[in-house]
Amino acid sequence: MFAVGFLMRPIGGWLLGRFADKFGRRRALTLSVTLMAFGSLMITLTPGYATIGVLAPILLVTARLLQGLSVGGEYATSATYLSEMASSGKRGFYSSFQYVTLTAGQLLALGLQIVLQQVLTAEQMTSWGWRIAFGVGALGAIVVMYLRRTMDESASFEKEAERQVSSRGTLRALMQHPKSVLLVVGLTLGGTVAFYTYTTYLQKFMVNTSHIDKSTVSWINFLALLVFVVIQPVAGRLSDRIGRRPLLLGFGILGSLLTVPLFTTLADTRNPIGAFVLMLGGLVIVTGYTSINAIVKAELFPTNIRALGVGLPYALTVAIFGGTAEYVALWLKQAGNESLFFYYVAGCIAVSLLVYLRMGETSKDSPLED
């Protein structure tokens, strides 16, 4: 089910990215969260297999596909909107809040998981307790949907709309920027593998390989992600002062060199405090990418195809590499070669490092400054 949603991300990046470039960022953001609310409600309310038979898994997969479509378009539009609404000299700071909100969602889910683990039995969680999280998510999405309907449109889009350019949000217009498209792929590759490894797979790794109690692992994840959220704006503000490229280089160099030692040490760690420190160390390294990746990509494209340019190549890369990271890890573990996954993650980061070394500083001469 986890990978199914990733399959829809490129379609979401294309459809909603194009929608955002043609009809506005505010409308696209409202549409994406509406899709998410509908998908979450479907998962919450769909009866079990014993009640409606094969229709139950069909509805659940359909709901997951809607959520994947939503997330694919959400990233592109929110990255574009945050970048365009921020004033010059503060764009790194404001765009860093994209991963603040993304990770805050994970924190809320972990917090709810911790509470449910305390009040429900394992049988209750398996039977119906898992629906609670989706119900809470659906209610939150409905609230956000109404809030987004009152947001202002970005001045950059309104100015572009006045020109009545017919090429807004088209693939033909996007293909006029092949270097930028390839840069987004290269920028994203190592970052998405590292992000999903440290925020999603690491929880399973600590349970299955480090043999730390599942409830303890939930607390380790919660506290590490809480610190991760706090340091995103700090790193984003730093990028406004020293540039985006130094942070990306820091992520690329440290991620390439330290990923294997970090995972090797964590595999033999039974102490929860030690595991927390190691996880947090990995998240601090990833911050060099997560805090600024949205603004870096937005700075590569003009207004008429910015949402599509950010969204489509990003979503394709995440679907191929980010969405499969956990499955690559589990497959290698079952094959008895779990340590190869450490080198896989480090290798993906190293590929992105080559891109960071060759690219220029995106905050200079950016179309966003026009």
Structure tokens at 41: 């409600």
- The domain that contains 318 carries what CATH number? 1.20.1250.20
DSSP 8-state class, residue 302: -
- pLDDT for residue 79: 86
- Residue 179's pLDDT is what? 92
Among the listed residues 76, 19, 148, the one whose alpha carbon sits nearest the alpha carbon of residue 294: 76
Residue 123: how many other CB atoms lie within 10 Å: 9
Report if residue 321 sits inside a domain: yes
Q: Phi first, then psi: what are they for 355, rounded to 5°?
A: -65, -45
What are the backbone dihedrals phi and psi of residue 166, each rounded to the nearest 5 degrees, phi first?
A: -75, -15
Q: Where do we find the tokens 């309310």?
A: 45
Residue 123 belongs to what H/E stretch? helix 122-124
Domain enclosing residue 293, as ranges:
89-148+175-365
177/179 Cα distance (integer angstroms) = 6
| Helix 306-317 vs helix 2-23: crossing angle, to nearest 10 | 170
Number of domain units in the chain: 1
Q: At a CB cut-off of 8 Å and minimum separation 6, what does 123 contact?
A: none
Answer whether residue 281 is part of any domain: yes
For residue 232, give the amino acid letter: Q
Is 3 part of a structural domain of the chain? no
Domain presence at residue 41? no
Angle, helices 272-290/214-242, rounded to nearest 10 degrees: 30
Q: Is 12 a member of any domain?
A: no
Return averaged pLDDT per consecutive 10 residues of the chain, 370 residues in all. 69 89 89 89 85 86 88 85 83 87 81 82 79 86 85 82 68 87 93 92 91 89 92 94 94 96 93 94 95 90 88 90 88 90 96 93 72
**In-domain check, residue 314:** yes
Phi, psi of 209 (to 5 degrees): -105, -45
Q: What pLDDT is recorded for position 182?
A: 93
* Residue 162 within a domain: no
Residue 320 placed within a domain: yes
